[in-house]
């Protein structure tokens, strides 16, 4: 075969580079250059920032909640403690966007919670309440809304449910790979050992009320705070201080290990109450029996040490179980409590405002003696009824208004000791408002002494919601009713009727001031504050509101009258062998259906202290709609005092 001959043109054509290959090579070079540049930028230029971002996802600084302080009675018996419970939370930053809906639906099923909030389903009686006591998040809050709210602080766990059953918590923990961002935690939860026995004193904790969030600026969104009782008023002492720790988390946001502790948590301080648990139980049982006997649905007993102001027992019935609020109360339970006509959520001892009835006479007696309108020997006649002339027609007897004594036949001439003992209405009509040529005290003086004894203003007890009561004045009536004050109004006020309103606690405080010789103390329910090691950080100190400007001999006469009331007068049902009891009965009319004799229904009152010579205990018994104080309230006081002094309960008629 002849050899093939290559021409120069063909050789040159073979060596010419392909344009497509050249372009491809350029593109490859550019891509590798860009990749190298990006690698340099990420690893060198932005390496430190990237490492910080990775570490922020991997390492976190989280709070360590401190144990909340526990609560004891004055004898050291445990009343409130912390118990472990399971809490389910979600960290919004750890929820993968592509699986978020799946996680929410799964949690809704396991926790039996709505996906969307159902606050519009809250009963109208609750949604219209100006203050739901921090319970809004418990009334049908949806998982999605809670998570959205938590995105403001995406690395802080959003608590979805407290007090989750053990089985449910374990199911969620086992499924953690399918539930990224969901955290199962064990937290300390309150247990109120006494329940309804002490709920008005202790209160309960709950979420921070939305309308008060600004006042809790140093708290985190998930924190629980005291909402009522000493849980609220001693929140600062009980809460403790949070610690901080560095933790490492996995891709699902679950804590893998603790890297280090920045600060240790400081446990909250413990409270030692002034309450005696045994006396609280006895007072509750005695009051309930007295209410049942009187057909009443509401009542109060408060016992105090008159020498210090320490509250030994505080009972308001009906009560409620504050354990219902642990982990969130259901709308149905809360609605039942709110709509109960006898208001179990209200502490009637310091929030209830009632006419004091004849218990107010001890203040009129003290005022009359101090102002020298009467003295020990002054006699005022009680004919059973007196007629007050009409101010616009004083000479027309047909327009005169009758003011009667409870004893229709009258008591005859009485001195102040006898008037207190037998609770003579006519004596105090004349003493306070005057009659014919007897001037009397007059409204301004009577009101002045009422305020001296602490009526018409809060006592300052360290419990929330205390009412002021009402001591009326001429200006008050003119502004409120557009009418002038008349002598008949003073007569009514003299026997604790008309416009005057007091709380049971105020009347007890006034009684204690008479018993101890004239010192008005601030009532206190916390005896000591101690740290976690048992050291006293705040000892008990008596707090004096004022020293009453009354002569000792005048207060002594009032005490003599109160002792006589129990020994031989209207309060004889509280007379006990072995201890001298002093007291004052009261029956206060209030608007309601009249009985067959045309009389209005009455609240039953009884004030007492013992021993009469050197008082250790003072108490008030109030039974709403209970009838005569001498019949229904005095026996309750007798039972409580008999238990306190360990005496037989055998009161005898005078």
Tokens representing 84 are 């472990």
> Which residues 6+ apart lie within 8 Å of 236 measured at CB?
none
d(CA 418, CA 427): 10
Judge contact between 563 and 362, C-beta under 8 A. Answer: no
pLDDT < 70 stretches in the chain? 1-17, 42, 45-62, 118-140, 245-261, 651-654
How many C-beta atoms lie closer than 10 Å to residue 449's C-beta?
A: 22
3-state secondary structure 315-330: EEECCCCHHHHCCCCC
Q: What is the DSSP annotation of 486-545? A: -HHHHHHHHTT-TT-BB-HHHHHHHHHHHHTTSEEEPPBSEEEEE-TTS-EEE-----EE
Widest Cα–Cα separation across the chain: 167
Judge contact between 111 and 161, C-beta under 8 A. Answer: yes
Q: pLDDT by residue (tens digit) across 74-125?
A: 999 999 999 988 888 888 888 888 888 888 888 888 888 888 875 444 444 4
Strand partners, 316: 300
d(CA 543, CA 279): 23
At 197 the pLDDT is 97
Identify the CA nearest to 271 among candidates 454, 534, 37. 534
Identify the CA nearest to 207 among candidates 226, 235, 232. 226
At 133 the pLDDT is 44
Which segments of 544-601 are extended strands (E)?
544-547, 582-589
Q: pLDDT by residue (tens digit) across 207-221?
A: 888 778 788 888 887
Which H helix or E strand runs over 381?
strand 380-382
Tokens representing 301 are 């007993």
> Which residues 6+ apart lie within 8 Å of 235 measured at CB?
225, 226
| Burial of residue 442 (number of CB atoms within 10 Å: 0-12, 13-18, 19+) | middle
Tokens representing 441 are 């005290």
* Sign, CA torsion 604/607/644/512: positive
d(CA 140, CA 284): 35
d(CA 427, CA 440): 11
Alpha carbon 530 to its chain's center: 22
Q: Is the peptide bond before 318 cis (omega within 30 degrees of 0)?
A: yes
At 222 the pLDDT is 79
All domains of the chain, ordered by start, with CATH? 59-273 (3.90.1310.10), 277-528+541-645 (3.40.710.10)
Convert 30-55 to b/e letters by CB count within 10 Å (16 or more is b).
Answer: eeeeeeeeeeeeeeeeeeeeeeeeee
At 122 the pLDDT is 47
Tokens representing 343 are 């208001």
Place of tokens 């001890």: 362
Identify the CA nearest to 205 among candidates 192, 220, 219. 192
At 134 the pLDDT is 45
At 452 the pLDDT is 98
* Sign, CA torsion 332/333/338/342: positive
Judge contact between 623 and 342, C-beta under 8 A. Answer: no
């Amino acid at each position: 075969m002849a050899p093939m001959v290559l021409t120069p043109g063909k050789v040159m054509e073979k060596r010419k580079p392909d344009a497509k290959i050249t372009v491809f090579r350029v593109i490859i070079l550019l891509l590798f250059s860009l990749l190298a540049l990006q690698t340099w930028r990420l690893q060198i230029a932005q390496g430190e920032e990237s490492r910080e971002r990775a570490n922020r996802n991997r390492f976190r600084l989280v709070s360590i909640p401190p144990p909340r302080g526990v609560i004891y009675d004055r004898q050291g018996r445990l009343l409130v403690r912390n118990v472990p419970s399971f809490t389910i939370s979600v960290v919004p930053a750890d929820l993968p966007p592509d699986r978020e809906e799946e996680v929410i639906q799964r949690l809704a099923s396991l926790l039996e919670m709505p996906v969307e909030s159902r606050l519009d389903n809250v009963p109208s009686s609750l949604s219209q309440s100006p203050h739901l006591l921090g319970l809004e998040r418990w009334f049908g809050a949806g998982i999605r809304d809670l998570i959205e709210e938590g995105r403001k602080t995406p690395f802080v766990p959003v608590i979805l449910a407290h007090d989750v059953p053990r089985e449910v918590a374990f199911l969620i923990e086992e499924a953690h790979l399918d539930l990224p961002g969901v955290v199962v935690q064990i937290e300390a939860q309150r247990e109120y050992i006494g329940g309804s026995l002490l709920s008005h004193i202790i209160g309960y904790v709950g979420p921070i009320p939305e309308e008060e969030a600004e006042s809790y600026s140093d708290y985190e969104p998930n924190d629980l705070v005291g909402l009522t009782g000493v849980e609220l008023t001693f929140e600062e002492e009980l809460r403790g201080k949070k610690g901080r720790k560095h933790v490492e988390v996995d891709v699902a946001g679950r804590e893998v290990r603790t890297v280090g502790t920045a600060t240790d948590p400081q446990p909250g301080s413990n409270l030692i109450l002034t309450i005696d648990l045994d006396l609280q139980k006895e007072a509750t049982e005695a009051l309930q029996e007295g209410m049942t006997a009187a057909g009443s649905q509401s009542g109060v007993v408060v016992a105090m040490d008159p020498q210090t102001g320490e509250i030994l027992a505080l009972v308001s019935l009906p009560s409620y179980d504050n354990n219902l609020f642990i982990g969130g109360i259901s709308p149905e339970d809360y609605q039942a409590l709110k709509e109960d006509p006898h208001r179990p959520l209200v502490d009637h001892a310091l929030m209830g405002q009632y006419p004091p009835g004849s218990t107010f006479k001890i203040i009129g007696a003290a005022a009359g003696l101090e102002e020298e309108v009467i003295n020990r020997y002054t006699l005022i006649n009680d004919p059973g009824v007196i007629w007050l002339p009409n101010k616009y027609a004083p000479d027309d007897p047909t327009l005169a208004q009758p003011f009667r004594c409870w004893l229709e036949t009258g008591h005859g001439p009485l001195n102040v000791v006898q008037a207190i003992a037998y609770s003579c209405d006519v004596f105090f009509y004349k003493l306070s408002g005057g009659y014919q040529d007897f001037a009397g005290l007059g409204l301004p003086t009577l009101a002045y002494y009422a305020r001296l004894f602490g009526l018409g203003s809060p006592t300052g007890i360290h419990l929330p919601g205390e009412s002021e009561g009402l001591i009326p004045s001429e200006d008050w009536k003119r502004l409120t009713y557009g009418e002038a004050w008349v002598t008949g109004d003073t007569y009514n006020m003299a026997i604790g009727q008309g416009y005057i309103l007091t709380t049971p606690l105020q009347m007890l405080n006034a009684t204690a001031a008479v018993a101890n010789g004239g010192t008005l103390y601030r009532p206190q329910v916390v005896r000591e504050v101690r740290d976690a090691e048992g050291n006293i950080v705040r000892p008990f100190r008596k707090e004096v509101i004022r020293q009453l400007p009354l002569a000792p001999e005048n207060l002594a006469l009032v005490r003599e009258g109160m002792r006589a009331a129990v020994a031989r007068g209207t309060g004889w049902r509280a007379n006990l062998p072995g201890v001298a009891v002093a007291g004052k009965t009261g029956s206060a009319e209030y608007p309601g259906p009249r009985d067959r004799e045309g009389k209005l229904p009455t609240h039953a009152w009884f004030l007492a202290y013992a021993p009469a010579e050197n008082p250790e205990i003072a108490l008030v018994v109030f039974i709403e709609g209970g009838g005569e104080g001498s019949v229904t309230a005095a026996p309750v006081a007798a039972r409580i005092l008999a238990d306190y002094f360990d005496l037989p309960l055998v009161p005898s008629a005078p």
